[in-house]
Chain A
Amino acid sequence: MNSAFDLRIGESHIEVHKFRSGAIVFSALLALVIQAWLPLHFTRASLLDLPLLVTIYFGLSRRNPSTGLILGALIGLSQDSLSGPTVPLGLFGIAKTVIGYLASSIGARLDTEHPVARFAVTAGFFIVHQGIVAMTRRILLAQPEPWFNLHLFGAAFLNALFAVCLFLLLDRLRRPS
């Protein structure tokens, strides 16, 4: 069942995964650290949004909207804190809160264990995330921000592709059922 791309109508058929103690916190912190450190050495790495991928993964796996949105909020606010004075607290926090909620809600209805499903869902969430960030910048901060362009499309593809690999690694943190 875990390896199948299966659409389930009832929530009772979806498995809720448990993780080793501290795995979620450790993964989130590691993603934040790498996200802050990697672009310093690899400019192209700034296209990746590791905190977003972690949020999506645990949201899809935990399948609890409340937990997912709180995790997204904490990761997003932490990313805001590490992003310097040009990024106000709440910019990524709002976006990742929504993504955490959506990922948990979708994870409760769809089986997203298949790599293709993970690729598609991650690409979609990346676009939604970017849309929320752009909307927040435009409306609340009155800053010019493109809704979407070819560069972001490439970033969405890259993140989705990287997510497939990353999620396989994170699957190892699950507790055996």
Chain B
Amino acid sequence: MTAIPSRHKSLVLLAGVILLQVLLLAVQIKRDSQGRLIRSWTVGAVSPFERAGSYGFGWFRDAWRNYFALRSTRKDNEDLRRENDALKLRLAQLEGKAAEADRLATLLHFRQSQEDVPMVAARVIGGSAGTASQTIEIDRGEHDGIRKDMGVITPDGVVGKVIEAFPNTSQVLLLTDRESGVGAMLADSRIQSPVGGVGEPLITMKYVPNDDDVNIGERVITSGMDRIFPRDLPVGTITEIKPGSTFKQIRIKPAANLEKLEQVLVLLTLHPLKESAAPAAAPAASNAAPPQAANP
């Protein structure tokens, strides 16, 4: 062990005595908002090392997390992307099934509310082969009791009528077809007039005299006079009224969404339907059996 030279002993002693007194001062002195001076000094002396250590550790941690620990990230990312794609597909399927379930529930509720009216639920399996006609094809036919000229509806309103019944399928002429027609009347004024298609999304009411009072937004319902549809089925809502030479030119928006049909009901009778048939109550029957079970 190296001995301190004698001429330096007094210097070391001086430094020691001064240091002790400085520490004594530091213990006594309390600066504003910084606590005791000894604490301030200690923090000041230690904090650079703490900061350096923190930075060093942070740098090492970041380097580890951002570089070395990411070796398997590419594979994980690909796996997650695949899983995400699969989940998206699954979600789309479930959304489709949920929508179908809603539609079927509506049909079922409508069917249950008309228990005394024989009807059969059918799925739309095809559309028109060309633009000249407005028809659909359903998956029920003569084996299910379907015959020609039977009415086809949805809980929203009239769809059309069966123009051809095959053993297992049927062809339905939509209300918008030029050849289509249904006996109808205005719900408020009870003015009767046939309604027919013109090959466009809107249908027309043809024989309402100019003198009769008709308002836009008035509901049009079936009159039962055509012997196809029972009375009081929703046909549509008046959207446009123009005066003609003798009769008004009235355009009606069909109550049923004829452009997006997926399930329909085929009426097996001409008995009038009850007024209580309302689509709004459909969710209450959403847990009921599928509409096929309602086949009489």
Flag whether A89 is at the interface (Cβ < 8 A).
Answer: yes
Q: In the complex, how many angstroms separate the beta carbon of B6 from the nearest chain A beta carbon?
A: 10
Q: How far is the CB of B22 from chain A (nearest CB, A)?
A: 7
From A94, A104, A142, contact of B21 by CB (8 A): A94
**In chain A, residues 68-116, which have Cβ atoms closer than 8 Å to a Cβ of chain B?**
69-70, 73, 77, 88-91, 93-94, 97-98, 101, 104-105
Q: Is there an interface contact between B25 and A69, defined as CB atoms closer than 8 Å?
A: no
* B65 interface residue (CB < 8 Å to A): no
CA distance A136 to B31 in the complex (A): 14
Chain A nearest Cβ from B25, distance in angstroms = 4
Closest to A96 in B: B21
Contact surface of B with A, Cβ cutoff 8 Å: 9-11, 13-14, 17-18, 21-22, 24-26, 28-29, 31, 37
A64 to chain B: closest residue by CB: B10
Q: How far is the CB of A162 from chain B (nearest CB, A)?
A: 27
Closest to A77 in B: B21
Residues of chain B contacted by A105 (CB below 8 angstroms)? 10
Q: Give the docked Cα–Cα distance between A65 and B14 (Å).
A: 9
Q: Chain A binding site: helix, strand, loop or mixed by DSSP?
A: helix
The residues of A that contact B17 with a CB separation of less than 8 Å are: 69-70, 73, 97
Q: How far is the CA of A90 from the CA of B28 in the complex (A)?
A: 10
Contact B14–A88 (Cβ < 8 Å) = no
Q: Is the CB of B10 within 8 A of A141?
A: no
Chain B, residue nearest A76 (CB) = B21
A66-B13, A69-B17, A140-B26 given; name 18 further pairs at CB < 8 Å: A64-B10, A65-B11, A65-B13, A65-B14, A69-B10, A70-B17, A88-B29, A90-B22, A90-B25, A94-B18, A94-B25, A97-B14, A97-B21, A98-B14, A105-B10, A136-B25, A140-B37, A141-B29
Q: From DSSP, what is the main secondary structure of chain B's interface residues? A: helix
Cβ–Cβ contact A98 & B25, under 8 A: no
User: What is the distance, in angstroms, from B176's C-beta to the closest C-beta of chain A?
Assistant: 93
Residues of A that sit less than 8 Å from B by CB: 64-66, 69-70, 73, 77, 88-91, 93-94, 97-98, 101, 104-105, 136, 140-142
How far in angstroms is the closest Cβ of chain A from B24?
Answer: 4
Given contacts A70-B17, A142-B31, contact A89 B10 (CB under 8 A): no
B41: nearest chain-A partner, CB-CB? A140
Contact A141 B14 (CB under 8 A): no
A66-B9 Cα distance, complex, nearest whole Å: 8
Known: A69-B17, A140-B37. A101 touches B10 (CB 8 A): yes
